[in-house]
């Protein structure tokens, strides 16, 4: 299952969670209350990825085997970069080119339901049931959202661009506060514009997505 499905689901679910969690805390619907950075563990992974999130941008740093890669998406500009730092190379495309649906980012098509208040590792969270039957991404699962608006866990099944899968993504070590704006700008090095379909095919060829 492609990691861009995970990105699509987590970002869209975070927005939808803001609406449902408002039942138990003050929050703006489909908005990130504050900037934050957080470590993410997918499935049984022991090496964390790192997610940086603002109201208008995301940055996701991870590894596929021994290859480090970074995804930067500017939601306010409809532009994204898939970066291979070791090669000094970045592929530039639009938001949909990395599997993100701009309408879903605002919560369009999501249904959310408050389930319970739970405490994990000393953090009080709202457990939310999230479903989206529309395509790209379709989603059915649960999210755990803290009082600060941080998404601490996302678990469920989904499908994006015809690729289905199940996943469990958990987060820890959140850092709240303003982030360096340069994290969300075009990376240094060579930048190659490419269409989304061509980018996906290229990444599959090199084993960076499945």
How confident is the prediction along the chain (210 residues), in pLDDT tens digits per residue? 445 445 555 555 444 444 444 444 433 234 577 889 999 887 777 778 899 988 888 898 988 777 888 989 888 888 889 898 888 989 998 876 666 665 665 566 777 788 899 998 888 988 888 888 776 678 888 888 888 878 888 888 877 667 777 878 888 999 999 999 999 998 888 998 887 677 767 666 655 555
* CATH superfamily placement of domain 3-205: Lipoprotein localisation LolA/LolB/LppX (2.50.20.10)
Backbone angles phi, psi at 101, to 5 degrees: -100, 110
Domain boundaries, the chain: 3-205
Burial class for 103, CB neighbours closer than 10 Å (0-12, 13-18, 19+): exposed
Q: Are 61 and 72 in contact (CB under 8 A)?
A: no
The DSSP call for residue 106 is: T
95-to-100, 165, 207 alpha-carbon distances in Å? 6, 21, 21
Give CA–CA dist 70/79, Å, rounded.
Answer: 14
Q: What share of the chain is helix, strand, coil (3-state, %, to 5)?
A: 20, 45, 35
**Residue 41 burial (CB < 10 Å; 0-12/13-18/19+)?**
middle
pTM of the model: 0.78
């Amino acid at each position: 299952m492609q990691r861009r499905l995970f990105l699509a689901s987590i970002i869209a679910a975070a927005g939808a969670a803001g609406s449902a969690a408002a039942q138990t805390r003050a929050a703006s619907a489909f908005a990130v209350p504050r900037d934050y950075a957080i470590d993410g563990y997918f499935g049984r992974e022991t090496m964390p990825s790192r997610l940086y999130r603002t109201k208008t941008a995301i940055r996701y740093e991870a590894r596929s085997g021994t290859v480090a890669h970074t995804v930067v998406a500017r939601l306010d500009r409809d532009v994204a970069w898939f970066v291979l730092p070791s090669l000094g190379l970045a592929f530039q495309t639009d938001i949909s080119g990395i599997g993100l649906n701009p309408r879903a980012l605002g919560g369009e098509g999501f249904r959310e339901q408050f389930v319970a208040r739970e405490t994990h590792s000393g953090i009080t969270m709202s457990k939310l049931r999230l479903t989206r039957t529309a395509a790209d991404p379709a989603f059915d699962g649960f999210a755990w959202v803290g009082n600060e608006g941080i998404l601490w866990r996302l678990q469920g099944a989904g499908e994006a661009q015809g690729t289905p899968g199940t996943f469990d993504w958990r987060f820890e070590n959140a850092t709240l506060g303003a982030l360096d704006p340069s994290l969300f700008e075009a990376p240094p090095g060579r930048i190659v514009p490419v269409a989304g379909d061509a980018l996906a095919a290229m990444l599959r060829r090199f084993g960076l997505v499945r």
